[in-house]
Structure 1
Amino acid sequence: MDSLTQIALGSAVGVAVMGRRTAVWKAALWGAVAGTLPDLDAFIDHGDPILNMTRHRAESHALFFLTLAAPLLGWIASRLDHRADGFQRRAAPSWNRTPSGGSDPRSGGAWGHWTLALWLVLITHPLLDAMTVYGTQLLLPFSDHPYGVGSIFIIDLAYTVPLIVGVVAALRLKDARGQRWNAAGLVLSTLYLAWSFGAQQHVDRIARSSLQQAGIDAQGLLVTPAPFNTVLWRLVATTPTQYHEGYYSLLDDQAEVRWTAYPRGGDLIARHGHTDPVARIAAFSHGFFSLHNGGDSLLLTDLRMGLEPSYTFRFDLGSPAAVGHVPVTQLGMRPDLGRALPWLWQRLQGNTHATLGAATP
């Protein structure tokens, strides 16, 4: 998910666990910090754009390594918390000081409490990421399988806003009412995740029925939401030689999908599929990729993230004879937002005749 969402989730979890044991702002701040840490791997340059893609959400998102990091991070937080609390007691007027060893519930959290809170913050980050389609390697070092449920888009305000509202309320109220607001935000966002998964399974059944009716013998089927919502869904079905793209809105009148076929480059895949860049993307994308001739170069595309013909991850592999032996270049393309957003709104409402505008590089 996007950085703002991970900060909001981390803060909400931190407040939920530590909000009664320390100052609410400390719980929210440490939650935001721990919620951001796993994504710092995005600043690591592996020297190759495909490696940069497939090594993101790797060790820094692995449950095993995050569990090992939690006690150390919890120790740092508890030490700083107690030092800050001691400074505040010394700076307070004598008539307003809390006696040492007193029962003030906000006198600083213990190491065990901070460890639990930050462990929950750390592991909820990759677990949420795994609900997107990108691919999160949760089980490293035991498995490098990239998990991606694909039931929520990387930016979805319906998930993020309840978290932000709950945290802000907790920071402003600083009492049990604020805790209830924060808990409500976590519950609503979690229910939205459950809704997205249920909606995905519903659309999956419709898509498989439509494929059967269309006589398409698909090897793989991808069902993932269109940007910013869970009402309109993008569908990609692959065969050895083609991929078929379609859209289905929960507001459509008919429970059917109109498929558009595109060449996938079956001959090129058979010829170059063993090379390192193609094999990496094939594994990371779970087979949802294409390979095309682009003039003097081969173009490798991850079909999961984008709207035809615009894709976030498209790579120039160089000449066919040199694939795997020359530097790879990433070619980014995005839709023309002036056309794409109106189409998205119209298609979401069930307008099956809406057409998407052309892409711009």
Structure 2
Amino acid sequence: MDSLSQAVLGASIVAAAVPATQRRLGLLAGAILGTVPDLDTLIVPLFTQAPVSLFTWHRGPSHALWLLLLLALLLWWALKKISPAVRQAPRAWLIATALALITHPLLDAFTVYGTQLWWPTSSSPVMWASLFIIDPLYTLPLLVGVLAVLLGGPKRWAFFTVVTGLVLSTAYIGWSHISRSISSHAVAHSLQQQGLGGAPYLLIATPFNTLLWRVVVITEQGHAVGYRSIFDGDKTLQLSHYPSQPALLQEQIAINPEVARLAWFTSGFINAEVRDRQLIINDLRMGTEGHFTFAFEVAQNVAPDGAAPQWQSHQVAPMVKRSGSMAAAMNKEWQATWGRIVQSWRERSAS
């Protein structure tokens, strides 16, 4: 999730856990703790500048649950030595520190990026994909609670407000999972009817909502994309099919470590595209066709024109720049998302 959401989540947790007289201090400590795992964006570049590594090591060790629990214990021990507030309520601060740290990667895991909760195991990163990376409906209750503690400090109403914010935001996560599960069941049924029952598929939250899901399906010829609204009922999933280079992709996974890592990191939701004698690997989970957020140039065709392709892997695969403005693309996607939700609601109401 975005940094603001992580900061207000950590702030809310610590403010709710520590004694009333320490709530404002808890806000500051929680906001800092809630952003600590994302310091990997500063640490990873010290070891590598390779775009694939920067992409796939984010949300890596710094988001592993066991490491964060160990860090919580070490921080608590150190703070107890220097902070009278922590010594006054050591148990509350230990619980608050641990929760502020581990809820960060757990919240991240509800997005589609991929969070390595179980690092260093070889299991693919967790991507429950029920929340968009920015969702005001999740963040707003937490923000209200934080403002209440800033204004009310030790007052009972401030405690009630911050706890209510935590309950509402957590309930929203629960709703997102329910909405996605309902839609996923309908998608699986529709894919079965279309002869794609065994195809891997992924439902991804569309911008700023939990009502419409982008569906990505891996097919034998490439991939397909559709949209499923919670209001669609028995409506058949409409898919747009896009060709890829499945054989070339599998060949590159076998011989190119960077492609193999991308396949692992994305749980296989990538495609191979030949563009101007360059082999491009697109992450199908984020962005839209022709405007994927993460795309990497992994190999070049070094054969003469007219001859059979000979792919030479790049030692370091550069990221392909996204054409156009990110803000413009987001705005266009949001307008399409909202239009699709309204259309589904009207169709459902009319039936």
TM-score scaled by length of structure 2: 0.88
Paired position in structure 2 for 1:25: 24
Using the alignment, how far apart are the partners of 1:2 and 1:144 within structure 2? 24
Residues 79 and 340 of structure 1: CA distance in aligned 2, closer, same or farther (over 3 Å):
same
Q: Which residue of 1 aligns with 2:183?
A: 203
1:95-244, aligned counterparts within 5 Å? 109-174=88-153, 175-244=155-224
TM-fit CA distance, 1:222: 0.3
**Bigger shift: 73-82 or 253-262?**
73-82
For 2:288 and 2:82, how far apart are their aligned partners in 1? 47
- SS of 1:23's equivalent in the other structure is helix
CA distance in 1, matches of 2:95, 2:197: 48
The runs of 5 or more residues in structure 2 that have no matched partner are 302-309, 346-351
Q: 1:19: Cα distance to partner?
A: 4.3
1:210 deviates by 1.5
Deviation (angstroms), 1:42: 1.3
Quick one: which amino acid aligns to residue 263 of structure 2? Answer: A
Q: Which position in structure 1 is the counterpart of 2:329?
A: 336
Corresponding residue number in structure 1 for 2:283: 302
Amino acid aligned to 2:61: E
Residue 102 of structure 2: SS of its match in structure 1?
Answer: helix
| 1:211-270 deviations in Å (ceiling 9; x for gaps) | 122223442110111111101110011123221100112234653211000012112113
- Three-state SS of the structure 2 residue aligned to 1:273 is helix
8 Å Cα contact 1:282-1:288 kept in structure 2: yes
Counterpart amino acid of residue 8 in structure 1: V
The Cα RMSD (Å) is 2.1
Question: Which residue of structure 2 lines up, in the alignment, with residue 311 of structure 1?
Answer: 292
SS of corresponding position for 2:271: strand
How many residue pairs get aligned? The number is 329
Does 2:261 correspond to 1:280? yes
Match of 2:341 among 299, 323, 348: 348
Instruction: Note closer, same or farther for the CA distance 1:191–1:351 as it changes in structure 2 (3 Å cut).
Output: closer
Distance 2:77 2:61 in 1: 22
Mapped pair 1:65 → 2:67: yes
Cα-to-partner distance string for 1:172-216 (whole Å, 9 max, x where unaligned):
112111111011000000100000000001111111121122223
1:331–1:19 Cα change, 3 Å: farther
- Residues 65-74 or 319-328, more deviating: 319-328
Distance 2:242 2:214 in 1: 15
Question: Residues 143 and 291 (structure 1 numbering): CA distance in 2 closer, same or farther, change over 3 Å?
Answer: closer
In 1, the alpha carbon distance for the partners of 2:99 and 2:171 equals 18
Conserved in 1, the CA contact under 8 Å of 2:223 and 2:241?
yes
Deviation at residue 325 of structure 1 after TM alignment: 4.0
User: Structure 1 stretches of 5 or more lacking a match?
Assistant: 86-106, 353-361
Aligned-pair identity (%): 37
Segment of structure 1 superposing worse, 265-274 or 192-201: 265-274
Q: Give the Cα separation in 1 of the matches to 2:315 and 2:341.
A: 42
The verdict on how the C-alpha distance between 1:70 and 1:281 changes in structure 2, with shifts beyond 3 A counting, is same
Judge conservation of contact 2:263–2:270 (CA < 8 Å) in 1: yes
For 2:143 and 2:331, the matched residues in 1 are separated by 29
Where has structure 1 moved over 6 Å in runs of 4 or more? none
Q: Does 1:291 align with 2:291?
A: no
Contact 1:290 1:300 in 2 (8 A): yes
Tell me the equivalent position of 2:6: 6
Q: Is the 8 A contact 2:188 2:197 kept in 1?
A: no
Q: Distance in 2 between matches of 1:339 and 1:148?
A: 25
Q: Structure 1-normalised TM-score?
A: 0.85
CA gap of 1:337–1:127, structure 2 versus 1, over 3 A, is: closer
Alignment partner, residue 77 of structure 2: 75
Residues 94-128 of structure 1 show CA distances to partners (whole Å, capped at 9, x for unaligned) of xxxxxxxxxxxxx9643433222111100011111
- The SS at the match of 1:319 is strand
Which has the larger helix fraction?
2
Distance 1:162 1:19 in 2: 21
* Aligned partner letter, 1:166: G
